[in-house]
Structure 1
Amino acid sequence: MVWKREETDTSKNLNKKGGMTLALQQPYTPKDRSFWQITLSLTLASFFIFASMYAVQPLFPVYVEEFNISISAASLSLSLTITGLIVGLIVLGFFSDRHGRTSFIKASVAGATIPFLIIPWTDSFFLLICLRFIQGVALAGLPAAALAYLHEEIDSGSVHVATALYISSNALGGMVGRVMAGTMTDFFSWHTYFYMLGGLGTVMFLLMLRLLPASRFFESSELSFRHDLHGFSYHLRNPRLLLIFGLGIIFQTSFTGVWTYLPFHLQEAPFFLSLATISLFYFAYGLGVVGSPLAGWLAGHFPLSSVRLTGIFVLCTGIFLMLFDAVWIISIGLALLCLGFFTAHSLTASSIGDLVTHHKGSASSLYLVSYYIGVVTGSSMLGPLYNSQGWPGLMIFLALLPLIYIIIVRSKVKIGN
């Protein structure tokens, strides 16, 4: 394959050059310039990818008014992107194991950029969501290849530093993407915001070309696609793993459901807040950067299941606070929501490795898929409930959903440690 040959030639050339030292053929450490090139490249790419993914979430009320559509229809601009992402994660993950890493990472940034330059030219919401679906498939290239690339190219004693920066930029990109969406749309238009993201993506792509080193230690998988599919089917027959995947769906459904319908709630009485003001609430995502490492530290001192259960209670408490009409209480509720969610999510994801003995990569991929299924459910499937029961009914449902699931699960089987 061309991609494979392109990425492995660098390694061969290094071996042929007698002047090269053996140290240059070792995995990168923080002492190496390439370590920081990889870390900076993937961190910036991750920031852009997640800003692109969630850029439309605060814009649902704008789409409802501009295109004269329902809330559920407007939410398709996010849920179809996530659907494309799910497809891309499965398909591109397989190809990345066979054809290399950097090509998919660069293509992901380029593929995510192009729709932002096309969508503002259309007045068709149908075309908008079709382009967002294609964009979602492209977005998957980065998460499908990035972590594997980091573990292949960076020294095992240093990879956690690069990985932590990469993952933290996920939450940061999602937060800034949402905040800027409301602010730019309020002062200019959502079209202007999309052009800005298109320009940012172009800059990111050029940086990728300049900074991202070619793979040196990539080894193409000789296993068949059938073997990969067998890994998926093996995990889907494991009842304990299915419960973990269910947790991913439930957590994300409640979390996304709050953020999807929050702009509609805050634009109505008694708040009447502008879109720019509402976007400031997304700064609560900053606690996601704190929640994940805090959860890891707590799990090192207390049982994982107890810390995760605490995270779930914090999440649900935050949702219950959404029932109050005071802005400051809602702000506290959103902070608790984010802290509890990222705590519970990170510990649930990390517990997968303890439940499987092989095909660990496919198990993690399936959890990621279930996580994003929750995004689709929380954004597009809750419209009828919101229309019939309003904000209070929706919040009560979303707060009780994780609690009921945990009660049922714990009565059946103990998951995690």
Structure 2
Amino acid sequence: MNTTVKAEKETKRFRLIRNCMFLSGLSVFAQLYLFQPMLSELCTSFRITPAMSSLAVSVSTIGMAAGLFVFAFKADSLSRHRLMGVALVLSSALTVLSAFAWNFPLLLVINFLKGAVLSGVSAVALAYLSEEVDASVIGLAISLYLSGNTVGGMAGRVMGTLLSGWSNWRYAALAIGLVSLILGIVFICKIPRSENFAPSSVDVRKRVGDMGRFLNKITFLGMFLVAALAMGAFVSVYNYLSFILESSSFGLPHYVVAMIFMMYTTGVVGSLVTGKLSDRYSPAVLLKGSLLLMAGGLLLLLVMQLWAIITGLGILTFAFFSAHTMASRIVSVNARQAKSSATSLYWLFYYAGSSVAGSLTGIILSGYGWNTFVWFVIALVAVAFFISVASSCRYNGRRWIIFALPEWDSSLCRSDIKPGIAGKQDK
């Protein structure tokens, strides 16, 4: 493989990569969480309980996790840009098809397949960016991609709520599926081909070994666990906050409660701000600060006043996407080889945390109330913070350096790069 010059800022290639990856993130998350604000509609349409209706969301994330596990072994044998393009178009077709599901089990099957197909984008997106974009702007490129995720998650939820309110959930699913199909076609037509990657046959035994080495290194395992815990905390709040806002304590109407998803705009700001800062400052320090800020936002949710709930939610959202951007950057940059395996493992933990914590915290909310629920979510973030500290601290012979850069995994790096030099290059 002949390595070409990577895309630099202000070049046409960089602009195309930036814009296309933003659109891919927009499409993926608009589809993935499409049904979250429409669970009550599904209860009425299929005559099911709220607990059963939540499966419409959880099976999509389970499908995403399952797909990521498969792509951890297969992604490096497939063209990166083609895999993402096919995944975007095929998932859009499944979203359109879900609008015509005549029973709930069929809807669950379609949503599972949709999540599995969408994993084709998440499995290689960060690897594609780190291979094709110059190191001086990799933080900006990753933050823009994750901003697309943020805007997509927000737009899918808000659009789904409004359309289902004006008509029903089927028209909402159809509209979002068609819009996503258009985005997928634009992506295929415009995305620059992978210049610094050549598909290769996959040795399953070697891939298992690569994954094992990632899981045995404290830097990578730490970031995987941080992603799981932070995502679990974040999703838990957005899953169940509407129950409090619609209760007698606040009495807000459904269409007003749906606007809480507009808080995702603070997540866009969080991704962009920390993405730019990470090109100058330590991503590890920014990650720790973001997790502390998440805990601060969660504490405000204990104050049963609308102003405190809104402020806390905004801080939480800003901080979560900041933390997510930093953790994913640390993984994608430190993994000098087998990048798709590293990023697939990251997303696998990310969605596993969403599924497990999202369900567990619902049980806690039902059994023990809002305050206990919030304290449990704070505990998840606290554990994530201590893991981030443990995964980046070093001993220099006299004292522990707590806010150091994460150690570079020299066994997975190019042999001609020394860990100390690599660390300096990524500051």
User: Aligning the two structures, in what range does the TM-score lie when normalised by the shorter sequence?
Assistant: 0.7 to 0.9
Give the conservation status (yes or no) of the 8 Å contact 2:144–2:271.
Answer: no
- Indicate if the aligned counterparts of 2:7 and 2:132 stay in contact, CA closer than 8 A: yes
Aligned residue pairs: how many?
Answer: 395
Say if 1:198 and 1:257 are closer, same or farther in 2 by CA, change over 3 A. same
1:72-103 per-residue CA deviation (whole Å, 9 max, x = no partner) reads: 43222222111111222232354332131233
Select the residue among 337, 342, 346 that pairs with 2:325. 346
Aligned residue in 2 for 1:280: 259
Q: Given that residues 72 and 380 in structure 1 are in contact (C-alpha distance below 8 angstroms), is that contact kept between their aligned partners in structure 2?
A: no
Deviation for aligned residue 1:186: 1.9
Q: Which residue does the alignment assign to 1:395?
A: 374
Using structure 1 for the length normalisation, give the TM-score: 0.82
Shift in Å, 1:274: 2.8
Q: Distance in 1 between matches of 2:47 and 2:314?
A: 33
2:78 corresponds, among 99, 114, 121, to 99
Show the counterpart of 1:120. 99
Q: Structure 1's 299 and 142: CA in aligned 2 closer, same or farther, altered over 3 A?
A: closer
Q: Distance in 1 between matches of 2:50 and 2:137?
A: 45
One-letter amino acid of the structure 2 residue matched with residue 208 of structure 1:
F
Distance 1:397 1:26, change over 3 A: closer
Q: Larger deviation: 147-156 or 73-82?
A: 147-156
**Counterparts in 2 of 1:300 and 1:84: CA distance versus 1, 3 Å:** same
Question: For residue 376 of structure 1, what is the aligned residue in structure 2?
Answer: 355
Q: Identify which range, 101-110 or 60-69, moves more after superposition.
A: 60-69
1:270 to 246, 249, 268: 249
Distance (whole Å) between structure 2 residues aligned to residue 272 and residue 53 of structure 1: 29
**Contact 2:29 2:149 (C-alpha < 8 Å) held by counterparts:** yes
Matched residue type, 1:126: P
Structure 1 segment 103-252 matched on structure 2, within 5 A: 103-153=82-132, 162-239=141-218, 241-252=220-231
The yes-or-no answer on 1:334 pairing with 2:316 is no
- Say if 1:157 and 1:353 are closer, same or farther in 2 by CA, change over 3 A: closer
Distance 1:109 1:296, change over 3 A: closer
Shift in Å, 1:31: 6.8
Q: Hey, what does 2:298 align to over in structure 1? A: 319
Partner of 1:295: 274
- CA 1:222–1:411: 2 relative to 1, 3 Å: closer
Amino acid at match of 1:142: V
After the TM superposition, which of the residue ranges 309-318 and 349-358 deviates more from structure 2? 349-358
State the distance in 2 between where 1:106 and 1:98 align. Answer: 16
Question: Hey, which of these two has a bigger chunk of helix by percent?
Answer: 1
Bigger drift between 70-79 and 369-378 goes to 70-79
Percent identical across equivalent pairs?
A: 26
Tell me the CA shift for residue 330 of structure 1. Answer: 1.0
* Equivalent-residue separation in structure 2 for 1:161 and 1:219 (angstroms): 25
Assess if the C-alpha contact under 8 Å between 2:38 and 2:160 holds in 1.
yes
Structure 1 residue runs without a partner (length 5+): 1-7, 12-24
Residue 23 of structure 2, aligned match among 30, 40, 44: 44
For the pair 1:90 / 2:69, whether they are aligned, the reply is yes
1:134-163 CA-to-partner distances (Å, cap 9, x unmatched) read: 000111122223344445555666666554
Give the Cα separation in 2 of the matches to 1:159 and 1:356: 14
CA distance change for structure 1 residues 303 and 217 in 2, over 3 Å: closer, same or farther?
A: closer
Amino acid at match of 2:262: F
CA distance in 1, matches of 2:12, 2:282: 39
- Mean alpha-carbon deviation: is it higher for 207-216 or for 113-122? 207-216
Distance change (3 Å), C-alpha of 1:413 and 1:97: closer
Indicate how the Cα distance of structure 1 residues 234 and 66 shifts in structure 2: closer, same or farther if over 3 A, else same.
same
**Contact preservation (8 Å) 2:8, 2:137:** yes
Aligned structure 1 segments of 4 or more residues deviating by more than 6 angstroms: 300-303, 353-357
Do 1:175 and 1:285's aligned partners in 2 also have CA atoms closer than 8 Å? yes
Return the alpha-carbon distance in structure 2 between the equivalents of residues 409 and 159 of structure 1. 22
Q: CA deviation at 1:271?
A: 2.4
Paired letter, 1:313:
L
Q: CA deviation at 1:294?
A: 3.0
173-182 or 240-249: bigger deviation: 240-249
Contact 1:73/1:380, CA 8 A, preserved across alignment: no
Task: Tell me the TM-score normalised to structure 2 length.
Answer: 0.81
RMSD: 3.2
Task: Specify the alignment match of 2:55 in structure 1.
Answer: 76
